């Protein structure tokens, strides 16, 4: 039986969709069934160089970078509106490619539209300052775009995390080369098509697919690249920082996490349980900021785990494209194998499986990359399951006796991305918010973020931050201009 034809996607360079040097396209599989959903062109090092050349030419052309910001604001606003109109198509494409439930993809696409609208409001408010200096001089600063910025994105929120950094870079007047993750490039390419439909000048946004070690490194290690915004794993982040350090260019790193969720006995435990479930089983746990380490006060620990298990067991697993699905598959069969490996190792080291731990028995899910929502107890806080980012629907849990112990356990990893605290006591909430080492703290809610609030990690979770009104700073440089006003005129 011949397979039905699938949609084709090319690289996007200089305003045109083109073939990659990697020859025949790569077939991408739907994680829910492992059936082909699209064929995508495969880029290589020459494509990376072509994209940088197009971006450099667009930067040097009068217009995008030299405008006062109003042209950029208009284009970004139009893009936000157009994306909202096309939101359903984008959400479906994201779900088919990445696997997450449609309702989550819809939320992601709306988030991208809100990000574009938010940064469009900043594009024409990029201002320098005047500085009083001695003598007959006038001193002022200019905020200038950097040139070509390179954005390397992960697969877990393919469009959202790509555009989270691309949007402020564009608003600041840079031109961009975006490299989406190898398994999930479709919405980035569709976004580039849309951007050109609404009038983004050719070469301002280029998308190159391909392997990270090949295309990604070629992009970073090129003199035309003036900044790198990377979202992904720690090891790759370090490699990119090394390459960037050699070339003395700035990087923003958004890396992994092992985020603690601290539940005190005075919390609204019903809401807390729902929040914990969302925070670890949303996107099948494939979230940098997943609340993957649960610390519960000993007095309610056992009862809270029962409550969690019951909620987890009710989650409806299925293909993301079905409206009723609450948790989808993992992104690839390889990633499923990696997550299962973590669970098996924890089990062999004595962890107790509170719920889950294996694949669902439903035959309809057999060909997809599904794993049951999993809760582990009796895990040593220093074990690999408690320290390493599993990046799947796997929660490790610990009891604690007092706030000091909760803080110690919360800080006992190399990461510091996010933390959640559940309590009705304001003093406890604000004190812990200060004592926990994390770039983001959420009180009495599942992890939450907005285009207007900073997103970034402490410790090994990252360097710098994205989002918020200061996000444009990463994509600007400051020039000081000092003007001598001439010798003072002699007065009679
Ligand atoms: P990854 O590091 O494997 O890949 C990320 C991107 O880097 C991909 O586009 C990949 O092709 C590219 N890449 C790989 N090797 C490269 C190299 N040598 N040079 C240049 N580019 C290279 O990460 P992933 O598996 O796609 O994503 C999961 C990771 O991302 C997790 O660790 C997760 O926590 C992290 N993440 C962090 C955030 C955040 O905001 N802090 C958000 C989402 C995901």
Our answer on whether the CB atom of 466 is closer than 6 Å to any ligand 1 atom is no
Does 3.40.309.10 match the CATH number of domain 260-443? yes
Q: Is 322 a catalytic residue?
A: no
Ligand 1 atom closest to 154 (CA): 26
- CA nearest 3: which of 40, 30, 37? 37
CB contact burial 309-326 (16+ within 10 A = b; e otherwise): bebbeebebbbbbeeebb
For ligand 1, atom 18: residue with the closest CA? 213
CA distances (Å), 351 to each of 66, 227, 335, in order? 59, 44, 21
Q: At a CB cut-off of 8 Å and minimum separation 6, what does 376 contact? A: 343, 346, 351, 352, 353, 354, 357, 385, 394, 395, 396, 397
Our answer on whether the CB atom of 117 is closer than 6 Å to any ligand 1 atom is no
Q: Helices 298-314 and 269-281: crossing angle, nearest 10°?
A: 60
Our answer on whether the CB atom of 439 is closer than 6 Å to any ligand 1 atom is no
Q: How far apart are CA 38 and CA 25, in angstroms?
A: 9
Of the residues 53, 254, 389, 460, only one is catalytic, namely: 254
For 152, the enclosing helix (H) or strand (E) is strand 148-152
| β-pair partners for 463 | 253
Our answer on whether the CB atom of 222 is closer than 6 Å to any ligand 1 atom is no
| β-pair partners for 36 | 29
Our answer on whether the CB atom of 447 is closer than 6 Å to any ligand 1 atom is no
Task: Give the length of the chain.
Answer: 492
What is the 155 CA–ligand 1 centroid distance (Å)? Answer: 8
Q: Is 254 a catalytic residue?
A: yes
Q: Provide block-wise average pLDDT over 10 residues at a time, the chain (492 residues).
A: 77 97 88 97 97 98 96 98 98 98 98 98 97 97 98 98 98 98 98 98 98 97 98 98 98 98 98 98 98 98 98 98 98 98 97 97 97 97 96 98 98 98 98 98 96 98 96 97 86 60
Q: Can you say whether the dihedral through the CA atoms of 248, 128, 464, 176 is positive or negative? A: negative
Probe ligand 1: pick from 47, 212, 228, 337, max atoms within 8 Å of CB? 212
Q: How far apart are CA 296 and CA 298, in angstroms?
A: 6
- φ, ψ (nearest 5 deg) of residue 264: -90, 155
Residue pLDDT, tens place only, 337-349: 999 999 999 999 9
pLDDT of residue 489: 67
Our answer on whether the CB atom of 44 is closer than 6 Å to any ligand 1 atom is no
DSSP codes, 68-107: -SHHHHHHHHHHHHHHHHTHHHHHHHHHHHH---HHHHHH
Our answer on whether the CB atom of 254 is closer than 6 Å to any ligand 1 atom is yes
Determine the straight-line distance between the first and last CA of the chain, rounded to whole angstroms.
101
Task: Please name the residue that has the structure tokens 């739907």.
Answer: 30
Probe ligand 1: pick from 236, 246, 439, max atoms within 8 Å of CB? 236
pLDDT of residue 23: 72
Cβ atoms of residues 207 and 237 within 8 Å: no
Q: How far apart are CA 458 and CA 97, in angstroms?
A: 31
| β-pair partners for 35 | 30
Residues of the chain with CATH 3.40.309.10: 260-443
Q: What are the structure tokens assigned to 482, written together?
A: 């000092």
For ligand 1, atom 42: residue with the closest CA? 288
What is the 378 CA–ligand 1 centroid distance (Å)? Answer: 30
How buried is residue 199: exposed, middle or buried, by Cβ count under 10 Å (0-12/13-18/19+)?
exposed
How buried is residue 41: exposed, middle or buried, by Cβ count under 10 Å (0-12/13-18/19+)?
buried
Cβ atoms of residues 355 and 373 within 8 Å: yes
Residues of the chain with CATH 3.40.605.10: 7-255+461-479
* CATH architecture of the region 7-255+461-479: 3-Layer(aba) Sandwich (3.40)
DSSP structure class, residue 214: I
Q: What are the structure tokens assigned to 82, written together?
A: 């157009």
pLDDT of residue 163: 98
What is the 20 CA–ligand 1 centroid distance (Å)? Answer: 22
Q: How far apart are CA 488 and CA 492, in angstroms?
A: 13
Q: Helices 426-435 and 403-410: crossing angle, nearest 10°?
A: 30
CA distances (Å), 355 to each of 311, 315, 325, 393, in order? 10, 12, 19, 11
Ligand 1 atom closest to 234 (CA): 32
pLDDT of residue 490: 67
């Amino acid at each position: 039986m011949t397979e039905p034809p699938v949609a084709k996607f090319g690289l996007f360079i200089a305003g045109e969709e083109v073939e990659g040097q990697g020859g025949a396209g790569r077939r991408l599989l739907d994680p829910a069934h492992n059936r082909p959903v699209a064929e995508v062109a495969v880029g290589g090092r020459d494509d990376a160089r072509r994209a940088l050349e197009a971006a450099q030419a667009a930067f040097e052309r009068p217009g995008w970078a030299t405008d006062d910001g109003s042209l950029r604001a208009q284009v970004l606003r139009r893009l936000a509106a157009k994306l909202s109109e096309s939101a359903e198509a984008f959400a479906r494409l994201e779900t088919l490619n990445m696997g997450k439930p449609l309702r989550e993809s819809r939320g992601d696409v709306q988030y991208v539209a809100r990000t574009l609208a938010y940064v469009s409001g900043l594009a024409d408010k990029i201002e320098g300052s005047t500085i009083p200096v001695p003598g007959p001089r006038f001193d002022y600063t200019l905020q200038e775009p950097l040139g070509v910025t390179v954005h390397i994105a992960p697969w877990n929120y393919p469009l959202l995390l790509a555009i989270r950094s691309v949007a402020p870079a564009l608003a600041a007047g840079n031109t961009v080369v975006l490299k989406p993750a190898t398994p999930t490039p479709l919405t980035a390419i569709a976004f580039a098509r849309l951007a050109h439909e609404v009038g983004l000048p050719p070469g301002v946004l280029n998308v190159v697919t391909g392997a990270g070690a090949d295309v990604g490194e070629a992009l970073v290690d090129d003199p035309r690249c003036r900044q790198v915004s990377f979202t992904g794993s720690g090891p790759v982040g370090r490699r990119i920082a090394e390459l960037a350090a050699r070339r003395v260019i700035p990087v923003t790193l958004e890396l992994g996490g092992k985020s603690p969720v601290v539940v005190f006995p005075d919390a609204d435990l019903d809401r807390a349980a729902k929040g914990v479930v969302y925070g670890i089983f949303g996107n099948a746990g494939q979230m940098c900021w997943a609340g993957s380490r649960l610390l519960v006060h000993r007095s309610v620990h056992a009862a809270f785990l029962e409550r969690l298990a019951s909620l987890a067991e009710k989650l409806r697993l299925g293909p993301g494209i079905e409206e009723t699905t609450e948790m989808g598959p993992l992104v690839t069969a390889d990633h499923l194998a990696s997550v299962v490996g973590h669970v098996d190792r924890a089990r062999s080291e004595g962890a107790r499986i509170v719920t889950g731990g294996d694949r669902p028995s439903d035959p309809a899910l057999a060909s997809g990359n599904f794993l049951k929502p999993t809760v582990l107890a009796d895990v040593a806080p220093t074990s690999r399951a408690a320290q390493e980012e599993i990046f799947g629907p796997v929660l490790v849990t610990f009891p604690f006796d007092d706030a000091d112990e909760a803080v110690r356990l919360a800080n006992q990893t190399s990461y510091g991305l996010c933390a959640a605290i559940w309590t009705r006591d304001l003093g406890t909430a604000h004190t812990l918010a200060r004592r926990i080492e994390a770039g983001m703290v959420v009180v009495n809610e599942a992890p939450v973020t907005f285009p207007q609030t900073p997103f970034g990690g402490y410790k090994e979770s990252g360097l710098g931050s994205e989002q918020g009104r200061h996000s444009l700073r990463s994509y600007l440089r400051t020039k000081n201009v000092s003007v001598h006003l001439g010798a003072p005129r002699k007065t009679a």
